[in-house]
Chain A
């Protein structure tokens, strides 16, 4: 990591003309986000299409009695816990904008604090998700149980994977900051990470409503 993220101050940069005055990487990340709309759109569609079509329980919002064993499995989603984790993710977005702002100002202290805070909040969210997944498994819902199990775990799991990638990205930025300090000219590198991070948050906003709250 010695070379660290090359900054825009490259002498070569002067040879590169840009048609719009925008950063290439920022255009690319927005294109990527546009593309991700379809990725999550497909996953969400699948979840909604399969809603109420599982042959066996457990179900998200209603209890289910296994006709074979007589055992009753209660509605599986845990709204209070997920509300908290949703709030955590929202707050991580706030930390993210503050981190970006600090980098832009050249404020080394706060850039580190907020970058780390964002990553930790993200990790907290992941912790909640781990807790949620394990408790679901204990209650008898796995990816193999029914259509709900498959579509739920894979949708939220892919979201979780995005959060994980984001946390790793944030930590990388944090370590670069520790090592050589992020300068204002690095702002674009933080900016694209932030865009990604907020997008992941936005996806969760949709998931929280569509999966957890709508019965």
Chain B
């Protein structure tokens, strides 16, 4: 389906070059990407490490901690690699809106099936 679209007015060669130029300004650079990759790796290592520390897995903070860590990874990829941070707010709306509703729905379902309530009592 990649080709099945009509291009925007700016999409002739010259414009594309201008765009590429702008891109360098508005998009993160190789340096940023390296940092992002490093942070993602560290968080992943952290997550797995936590998994093997009984003191943490047995504590009530285990699940929230993991959720926070993965949410951080999620956000970093979306903001930097998917350059949502730098891009049009149209994209932000198209993604964040559904994401928030979807997450709310998942959480409500867990409550409805008693999976969340159990966890809260169990801890």
Identify the A interface with B (CB < 8 A). 5-10, 12-14, 16-18, 20-28, 30-31, 33-35, 37-38, 41, 44-45, 48-49, 51-52, 79-80, 83, 86-87, 90-91, 93-94, 96-98, 101, 104-106, 183-185, 187-189, 192-195, 198-199, 201-202, 205-206, 208-210, 213-215
Distance to closest chain A CB from B73 (angstroms): 5
Identify the B interface with A (CB < 8 A). 1-3, 5-13, 16-17, 19-20, 23-24, 27, 30, 33-34, 36-37, 40-41, 44, 47-48, 50-51, 57, 62-63, 66-67, 69-70, 73-74, 77-78, 81-82, 88, 90-91, 94-95, 97-99, 101-103, 105-106, 109-110, 113, 115
Contact A202 to B78, CB < 8 A, known contacts A16-B6, A41-B105, A106-B20: yes
Closest to A49 in B: B113
Contacts of A97 in B (CB 8 A): 33, 81
> Which of A25, A91, A101 has a CB less than 8 Å from the CB of B5?
A25
Q: Is the interface of A mostly helix, strand, loop or mixed?
A: helix
Distance to closest chain A CB from B72 (angstroms): 9
A28 touches B5 (CB 8 A): yes
3 residue pairs, one from A and one from B, having the closest CB atoms: A8-B11, A34-B98, A209-B70
> Which of B7, B13, B102 has a CB less than 8 Å from the CB of A16?
B7
Contact A87 to B41, CB < 8 A, known contacts A20-B90, A25-B2, A205-B74: yes
Distance to closest chain A CB from B59 (angstroms): 12
CA distance A148 to B50 in the complex (A): 24
> Which of B3, B37, B51 has a CB less than 8 Å from the CB of A213?
B51
> Which of B37, B47, B57 has a CB less than 8 Å from the CB of A94?
B37
CA distance A9 to B19 in the complex (A): 13
Contact A10 to B7, CB < 8 A, known contacts A37-B98, A94-B37: yes
A30 touches B95 (CB 8 A): yes
Contact A35 to B16, CB < 8 A, known contacts A24-B8, A90-B41, A205-B73: no
Q: Could you pull out 7 A-B pairs where Cβ atoms are within 8 angstroms?
A: A8-B16, A9-B13, A34-B95, A49-B115, A94-B34, A185-B13, A205-B73
A98 touches B33 (CB 8 A): yes
Contacts of A98 in B (CB 8 A): 30, 33
> Which of B20, B30, B106 has a CB less than 8 Å from the CB of A45?
B106
For A8, A24, A28, the residue with the greatest tally of chain B CB atoms inside 10 Å of its CB is: A8
> Which of A37, A86, A201 has a CB less than 8 Å from the CB of B102?
A37
Closest to B88 in A: A22
CA distance A8 to B19 in the complex (A): 12
CA distance A97 to B74 in the complex (A): 16
Closest to A90 in B: B40
> Which of B30, B73, B94 has a CB less than 8 Å from the CB of A101?
B30
